[in-house]
Amino acid sequence: MKIQQLTVGMMSVCCYIISCEKTGKAAIIDPGGDEEKILAACKEDTLEVIYIINTHGHPDHVCSNGPLRKATDAQIIMHRSDAEFFSTADARSYFSMLGLPESPPPDILVEDGEKIVIGEESLTVIHTPGHTPGGICLYNKPNCFTGDTLFVGGVGRTDFPGGSMPQLSQSIQERLLTLPPETIIWPGHGYGGFQSTIKDEAEGNPYF
């Protein structure tokens, strides 16, 4: 699996283009702006984008879903709980303050343990609620895309609607720190760095 990490948008989101090197099929994870930059990177590698995957539904991670789906015909994937939560009137009203475009409704709803197949590669969905009700991480050994659940040296905020620190802590302890120590962490923002490992976070992240 090939991984391209791009920093995009006004919130400096870590967007990932992951692709199967044998088939050229690809998925975009968390397109948080700068869709022309994302599309140019896909075109440079002659990739066929089949999925747009959101680790969670916050506007800074989904604001380019619409333009990218229009440009690529890719299907949008989100966990069922976030699709439901972010479609409520209260959530839409609260998060509209960021002034970012909303995502179209997702085409595919996933649950914990499901696999997203991209050519001859696949991502396993790990449900990690806490930052949002339907937050997910995406695992393809030895890589894990952690969204805003786990950062390098930090964890996601829980003071937004739908957040829960006890839930987030449980998710990290039980779902992420149990992965192999050599697992590479690819976070949703580069606040403390753009890459780490489960071992390094277990030993050095001050939130644990």
The pair of structure tokens assigned to 85 is 């939560």
Average pLDDT of the residues in 100-110:
95
Number of Cβ atoms within 10 Å of the Cβ of 40: 11
Q: What is the pLDDT of residues 56-100, one digit of tens each?
A: 999 999 999 999 999 999 999 999 999 999 999 999 899 988 889
Domain count, the chain: 1
What is d(CA 7, CA 13) in angstroms, rounded to the nearest whole number?
5
pLDDT at 137: 98
pLDDT at 184: 98
**8-state DSSP, 189:** B
Residue 103 has pLDDT above 90, yes or no: yes
Q: What is the pLDDT of residues 116-140, one digit of tens each?
A: 999 999 999 999 999 999 999 999 9
CATH code at position 171? 3.60.15.10
SS3 track for 136-161: EEEEECCEEEEECCEECCEECCCCCC
Q: What pTM did the predictor assign?
A: 0.97
Q: What is the pLDDT of residues 35-60, one digit of tens each?
A: 999 999 999 999 999 999 999 999 99
Q: Assess contact for 186 and 3: CB atoms under 8 A.
A: yes
The pair of structure tokens assigned to 34 is 């700068």
Expressed as residue numbers, the domain containing 15 is 2-204
pLDDT bucket at 208, cuts 50 / 70 / 90: confident
pLDDT at 167: 98
Long-range contacts of 65-69 (CB under 8 A, 24+ apart): 65/31, 65/103, 65/104, 66/101, 66/102, 66/103, 66/104, 67/35, 68/28, 68/31, 68/35, 68/38, 68/39, 69/104
Residue 201 CB-density burial (10 A; 0-12 exposed, 13-18 middle, 19+ buried): buried
The residue assigned the tokens 């987030």 is 168
Q: What is the pLDDT of residues 142-195, one digit of tens each?
A: 999 999 999 999 999 999 999 999 999 999 999 999 999 999 999 999 999 999
The residue assigned the tokens 């006004």 is 10
